[in-house]
Amino acid sequence: MLRFLMFAALLVPLHAQDVDAIHQRNREAGKLNEERAKQYTYVEETDNFEYDKHGQAKKTGSVTNDVIFVEGEQYKRLVARDGKPLNAKAEAREEKKVQQIAEERRKARRRRLFNFSRSFGVTDDDLDKLCDRRLVGEEEVRGRKAWVIEYTPRKDHVPANKHEKDLYTFQIKVWVDEEEGVTSKFLLLAVADGILKLGSWLTIDSAKVNDDAWLPVFIVLDARIQIAAVIRDSFRAETRNSNFKKFDVKSTITAGDQ
């Protein structure tokens, strides 16, 4: 019995060590993959839904964007609504937007403010600083084995700003591909009211494209929000990405070059 208890005690630090190792490998693999993923253009198709008073989702429309590069950074260019290509007037408006974005980004680069960083959403630093993590199992994602790590906000930390307060309303799960260490699936679940209401969730499913980069292929946002004190809204957006093409960012054709 004593030998069993000693063995069980040894498993605790080993388990925690394994979770930390997987987490660190995921961070490193993510950074490498991000550079490859930035080189891809693709088509993004989003179906939008609203919930009626009975909780039934009713489709309200769809939009199609070409995710392209303008001045070396990704840009979503609207190309269709409800499956129908834009008419000439709308197409001209979109072309004008591209010209404006290109000029804004050129000016920003001249001021040395142009960069490729992403500040939206939950970052790796957030997970390190604000969350406890535990290995909760092993599952298959698109036929590939993945470790499942659950991140929960640390109880001994007091949120210092709005971003941290928002993060503290979520529970996060990350599926880490066992072979390559990248995130193959991501789940953000609202477990308290905050920027999203309790029960809202976001999932991102990724897949390896062209035996090269891992890119998001299916995204679902099922959200309940409240604006001010009286306006409530419930909606769902389902996004499918396809037609991935590798593109040399350095050779980006910019709009309105001078």
Rounded Cα gap, residues 3 and 6, in angstroms: 5
Rounded Cα gap, residues 37 and 246, in angstroms: 9
Please name the residue that has the structure tokens 């490998």: 25
The full DSSP string for 16-37 is HHHHHHHHHHHHHHHHHHHHHH
Name the helix (H) or strand (E) containing 127: helix 124-130
pTM of the model: 0.81
Q: Which domains does the chain have, with CATH numbers?
A: 2-70+79-85+119-249 (2.50.20)
Rounded Cα gap, residues 109 and 72, in angstroms: 11
Kindly state the tokens that stand for 126.
Answer: 């957030």
Kindly state the tokens that stand for 8.
Answer: 């069980």
The full DSSP string for 153-177 is E-TT----SHHHHHHTTEEEEEEEE
pLDDT of residue 6: 36
Kindly state the tokens that stand for 232.
Answer: 């409530």
pLDDT of residue 144: 95
Using the CB atoms, write b or e for 63-92: b if 16+ within 10 Å: bbbbbbbbbebebebebbeeeeeeeeeeee
pLDDT of residue 124: 80
Across the chain, the runs of DSSP E, i.e. the strands, are: 40-51, 57-70, 73-81, 84-85, 131-141, 144-153, 170-177, 183-190, 201-209, 213-227, 231-246
**pLDDT tens per residue across span 182-196:** 999 999 999 998 888
Give every residue of the chain whose pLDDT is below 70, as ranges. Answer: 1-17, 109-121, 227-232, 248-258
pLDDT of residue 111: 56
